[in-house]
Chains A and B, each alone.
Chain A
Amino acid sequence: MHATTIRSPQALSPVRKSFVRRNLPYLLIAPSVVMLLGLIAYPLLFALKSSFYFWNLQVGPQPLAFVGLDNYVQAINAFDFRAALTNTLILSVVGTATEFSLGLAIALVLLKALPGMNVVRALLILPTTIAPIVVGFLFRYLYDPGGGLVTWVLQSLWLPVPAEGILGSPSTALAAILFVDIWQWTPFFAIVIYASLLAVPDEIIEAARLDRASAWTILMRIKLPLIRRTAIIIVMLRFMQIFNTFDTVLVLTRGGPGTSTRTLGYSLYEQGLVNFNVGLVSAQTWIAVLIVNIIVALYVFFAFRNEEW
C-alpha cells in the first residue's frame, strides 16, 4: 500500500472560504447595489424607450407611434421647458450664493458663544426639517394677498405689493419662491458652517492676531480656506436639493403666473402627472438626467480630485 493524497473536506474548505474572503467587501455591498440598480435602471430604461414614442395616457394606454427624436426636439424647443431650465438655474445659483453668505454671517455671530446662544443655534435648524410641501403651505399663508403676514409687513414698510398678490405677479413670484428657499436652507448653511468653523484650532487664529491680521483677513485667508471641504460638500448637497424640489412650487404657484416660477422638477411633474404626456416627459427626464450628471461630474472632478477616501 502506498500513501495516496486524499483531499479531505477540511482541505477543500480554505478554497471556498477564500472565495468568500476574497470577495467579502463586494458581497457585502452587492445587495444594496442590486436593489438600487433595480429601482433606478428600470425607470431610466423605461424613460429612454418611451422618449422615442408618441405616448399620451390621455389618448390611449399604449404608445401610439414611434417618433424618433421628435420628443427631444419638442422639449428643447418648448418655451416653457427652457423657461424651467433658466428658472432652476437662477434659483440654484442665486439661492446657493445667498444662503452661503447669510449662513456664514449667522455662523460668525453664533461663534461668539454668549450664554443662551446655544438655544438660538439649536432652534435655528427647524425650518430645514420641515417637508417642502408643508413649507409651501406655510408661505402660501404668509404671502396671502388678503391678510398674509409677509404682505402686511411689506405694506407696513410702504413697499409696493402687487394687487394680484406676491405670488400672483410675474415680477415678484420667482423672488418669492427664492425667498422661501433661502428661508428654509440658510439655517442649514449656518449650522454646518458653524460646526466646521468651531473645529478651526484657536492657536492658528491667535497666531494670526499676534501678527496683527484684521478680522476680515483672518476670515478670508484662514477660516474660509480651512472649511473649504465643508463648503464644497454643502454647496453640492444644496444643488441636489434644488434640482429635486417641486413640491414647494406645486403648492405655491403651480409654476405660474405664466412660466415665471416653472422649475425643472415642476415641469416634469406637470407633463407627467397632469398632462400624462409620457413620451415628452421621458425625453425631458433624459435631458434633465444628462444635465444633472454633467454638472455633478464636473463638480466632483474639480472638487474631489484631491480628496482622500
Chain B
Amino acid sequence: MKSRTTFYTALTYAAGLLFLAVFIGPILWFLALAIRSAETAFEMPPQLTFEPTLDAFRHILVDPGTNAPQLVNSLIVAIGAVLLNLPFSVPAAYALSRFKLRGKKNIMLWYLGLLMAPPVAFLIPYFVLITRVGLQGSYLSMVLVLQTLTIPFSVWLMKSFIDEVPAELEEAARVDGARWHTIMWRITLPIVRPGIIVTSMFAFVFAWNNAAFPLVLSSRSTATLPIGTLGYFATSGVTWNYIAAAAVLAMIPPMIIFLVFDRYVVRGLTFGSVKG
C-alpha cells in the first residue's frame, strides 16, 4: 500500500513537471530569445547555454529606443480605458446587483453578447467614424472604442463583488434614514473597493492585450506595443531579438497582475460567474 502511494505521488509530480515544461517552457524559451545574441537564436540543436545580453532591451528602450514611446502609449490607452469605464460600469453593476428590475437577465446577457461581437468586423466602421469626428490617431479614439470590451466585462465582474456585500448592511442604513446615494457611496462602494481594484486590474489586461483597435485607430506616434511588434515584422529581415524583447515587455504587466491577483484569476477570467 505504502509503495503504491509513493508511486502515485511520484506520478503526480512528474505530471506537474510535464505541465510546466509544456505550458511555461515556451515562454522561457522566448524570454531566452530576448536575452541572447542574434547568432545563436536559430542554432540546431537548440543551445540551452548562452551568454546573456541586454542588447535587445537596450535597442528597444534606450538606443534608439524604438519601443519606449509605445510602452508609454500602451499604458496611457489601457489606464485611460479602465478609468473611463468605471463611472459607467460601477453604477450599472450596483443597480443590477441591488434592485429588482424587469429583464435583468436579458440586460446581463446583452452585455455578454457585446463581448462576443467580433471586433474585427467593426474596425472599418470605427475608422470611418473616428476620421469623421477628427479623432484619428488619438488616444481618445482607442480609449473610447475599448469601452465596448471594458464596460461589459466590468459590469459582470463588479456585479459579482457587489452581490457578496450583505444586503442587511444597507437595510440598517436605510432604517436610519440614509438615502440610496449615501448608501451606495458611503457603505457599499467602500466595502467593495477590493472588488473595484480587481476589476480594474483585469480590465487593464483586456485593454492592454487588445491589438485590433490600435491597429486601425493609432498613428505612428500613438501606436501601442503590440502594433510595435508588428512593425518589426513589416521591415525586411526579421530582427527576432528585438521582437522578442518588445513582446516580453508586452507580456510582463498581465503576468504580474495574474500572479499578484492569483486568488481572483478564476473569477476575473469568467467575468465573475465562477467564484474561485
Q: Measuring CB to CB, which residues of chain A are less than 8 angstroms from any residue of chain B? A: 21, 24-26, 28-29, 31-33, 35-36, 39-40, 42-44, 46-47, 106, 109, 112, 114, 116-117, 120, 122-134, 137-139, 141-142, 144, 146-149, 152, 156, 183, 186-188, 191-192, 195-196, 199, 230, 233-234, 237, 239-240, 243-244, 246-247, 251, 264-266, 268-269, 272-273, 278, 281-282, 284-285, 288-289, 292-293, 296, 300, 304, 307, 309
Contacts and interface: CB of A to CB of B under 8 A. Distances in A.
Interface string B114-126: 1111111111111
Contacts of A191: 265-266, 269, 276
Contacts of B257: 129
15 contacts: A39-B148, A46-B125, A116-B13, A133-B229, A139-B26, A141-B240, A149-B29, A152-B44, A191-B276, A192-B266, A237-B269, A244-B120, A282-B124, A289-B121, A292-B118
SS class of chain B's interface: helix, strand, loop or mixed? helix
- Measured as residues with beta carbon below 8 angstroms from the partner, the interface class of chain B is 35 or more
A296 B116 contact: yes
B116 A292 contact: yes
B124 A278 contact: yes
Contacts of B53: none
Interface of B: 9, 12-13, 15-16, 19-20, 22-24, 26-27, 29-30, 33, 41-46, 87-89, 91-92, 94-96, 98-101, 104-105, 107-109, 111, 113-126, 128-129, 144-145, 147-148, 151-152, 155, 180, 205, 208-212, 215-216, 226, 229-230, 233, 240, 243-244, 247, 250-251, 254-255, 257-259, 262, 265-266, 269-271, 273-276
Interface of A is mostly: helix
Nearest to A239: B116
Contacts of A126: 23-24, 27, 255, 258
A158 B115 CA distance: 44
A141 B171 CA distance: 59
Residue among B118, B129, B254, B255 having the largest count of chain A Cβ atoms under 10 Å: B118
Nearest to B100: A25
Nearest to A278: B124
A192 B119 contact: no
A234 B126 CA distance: 29
Given A25-B99, A36-B147, A247 B212 contact: yes
B95 A109 contact: no
A300 B109 contact: yes
A131 B209 contact: yes
Given A28-B95, A122-B262, A192 B125 contact: no
Contacts of B226: 131, 133-134, 247
Contacts of B42: 144, 146-148
A188 B104 contact: no
A106 B46 CA distance: 28
A125 B27 CA distance: 12
A31 B9 contact: no
Contact of B46 (A109, A117, A149, A289): A149
A43 B88 contact: no
Given A39-B147, A125-B265, A131-B254, 10 more contacts: A43-B126, A124-B23, A127-B26, A129-B254, A131-B208, A131-B209, A187-B23, A191-B269, A192-B266, A251-B230
Contact of A141 (B13, B33, B216): B33
A-B pairs with the 5 shortest C-beta distances? A147-B42, A43-B125, A28-B95, A25-B99, A131-B209
B166 to A, nearest CB: 19
A195 B266 CA distance: 7
Contacts of A114: 9, 12-13, 16
Given A147-B41, A281-B124, A195 B276 contact: yes
A190 to B, nearest CB: 8
Contacts of B247: 134, 137-138
Given A114-B13, A120-B20, A131-B226, A296 B113 contact: yes
Given A25-B99, A133-B229, A152 B45 contact: yes
A243 B91 contact: no
Given A40-B117, A126-B258, A292-B118, A149 B244 contact: no
Contact of B118 (A130, A199, A234, A268): A268
A51 to B, nearest CB: 11
